[in-house]
């Protein structure tokens, strides 16, 4: 029964907080450009408006185009359940669930690419081919990074990995964790279609990646696609902050338990998410979008850094 309550809290927090991350990033970018920018809650308004609109579907679209938004949102929410946002009193997670986590996210991306091809749109096909290339280059780095922290924690459960790092002290003082943190930051930028890999705010079709794949969507379907992308982004940020910047020590220090511990843990988690969102915005402001054929260089850099962390695990005596 309690597992169901924790899962419900997890889903509610992820869904409600996901659009806020985009709002913070846009606001920080606007302020650095000396603009007022849109309100922090603008994405909530946009999603609410889109949910009230009807859907326009191409005559040549198959069931894949209609099902893809629901599969994308379902896979994003399902993946979020593997990455705890707070300190749960009871143990969650199962051996090997980090591999299932990557697979569930890949399922949502796969159907998104199929849907982009389904309407025979030129830009959709271009976006899906680019997305396939980027994901194929980045996912090995993600797996190596996760396997490295799994070796240290001696568990392939994300919950157990987070529980282990919470007892390490300050993980970012350890070379293995520093390299993993740097690799995962690069992976997040690529996986969530941020600058310099992609520009989510561009209106130039020839440079689009993620936006080109959802160009044919409208109304409720577009809202689900946008929300699923925001949830994926927040899930990766959660993975970053709760593995490499754990905060469970503070809760244990003050002897909190039960719902008080969960409330404090959620509050600290949201602060960390806000800080990472600001960091992403600062990176975007000081970076330029890479040419398509320069993205493999960034992916290679992420893989090299993650593999160096893997090697460091053995060099430093496990």
Q: What share of the chain is helix, strand, coil (3-state, %, to 5)?
A: 75, 0, 25
* pTM listed for this prediction: 0.94
Give residue 206's pLDDT: 72
7 confidence band (pLDDT: 50, 70, 90): confident
Give residue 41's pLDDT: 94
Q: Which residue has the higher pLDDT, 251 or 238?
A: 238
pLDDT at 203 over 80: no
DSSP of 226-248: HHHHHHHHHHHHHHHHHHHS--H
Read off the pLDDT of residues 163-176 as tens digits, 9 standing for 90 and up: 888 877 788 888 99
Read off the pLDDT of residues 47-93 as tens digits, 9 standing for 90 and up: 999 999 999 998 889 999 999 999 999 999 999 999 988 866 555 66
DSSP of 277-305: HHHHHHHHHT--PPPGGGHHHHHHHHHHH
205: which residues sit within 8 A by CB, 6+ positions away?
123, 212, 215
Give residue 258's pLDDT: 66
When mean pLDDT is compared across 46-55, 177-186, 287-296, the lowest value belongs to 287-296
DSSP letter at 202 equals -
Read off the pLDDT of residues 125-146 as tens digits, 9 standing for 90 and up: 899 999 999 999 999 999 999 9
- Cβ atoms 119, 61 nearer than 8 A: yes
Q: What percent of the chain has pLDDT over 90?
A: 61
């Amino acid at each position: 029964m309690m597992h169901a309550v924790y899962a419900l809290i997890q889903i509610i927090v992820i869904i409600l907080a996901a659009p806020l991350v985009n709002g913070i990033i846009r606001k920080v970018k606007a302020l650095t450009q000396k603009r007022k920018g849109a309100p922090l809650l603008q994405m909530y308004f946009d999603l609410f408006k889109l949910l009230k609109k009807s859907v326009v579907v191409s005559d040549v679209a198959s069931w894949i185009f209609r099902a893809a938004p629901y599969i994308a949102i379902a896979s994003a929410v399902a993946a979020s359940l593997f990455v705890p946002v707070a300190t749960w009193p009871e143990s969650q997670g199962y051996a090997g669930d980090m591999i299932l986590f990557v697979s569930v996210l890949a399922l949502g991306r796969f159907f998104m690419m199929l849907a982009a091809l389904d309407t025979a749109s030129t830009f959709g096909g271009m976006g899906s081919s680019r997305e396939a290339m980027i994901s194929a280059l980045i996912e090995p780095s993600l797996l190596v990074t996760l396997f490295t922290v799994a070796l240290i924690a001696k568990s392939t459960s994300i919950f157990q990995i987070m529980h282990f790092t919470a007892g390490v002290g300050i993980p970012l003082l350890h070379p293995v964790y520093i390299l993993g943190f740097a690799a995962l930051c690069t992976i997040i930028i690529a996986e969530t279609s941020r600058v310099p890999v992609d520009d989510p705010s561009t209106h130039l079709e020839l440079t689009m990646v993620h936006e080109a794949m959802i160009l044919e969507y409208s109304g409720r379907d577009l809202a689900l696609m946008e929300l699923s992308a925001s949830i994926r982004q927040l899930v990766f940020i959660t993975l970053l902050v709760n593995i490499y910047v754990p905060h469970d020590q503070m809760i244990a220090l003050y002897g909190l338990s039960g719902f008080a511990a969960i409330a404090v843990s959620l509050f600290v988690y949201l602060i960390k998410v806000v800080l990472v969102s600001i960091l992403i915005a600062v990176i975007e402001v000081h970076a330029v979008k890479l040419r398509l054929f320069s993205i493999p260089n960034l992916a290679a850099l992420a893989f090299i850094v993650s593999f160096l962390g893997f090697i460091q695990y053995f060099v430093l005596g496990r």
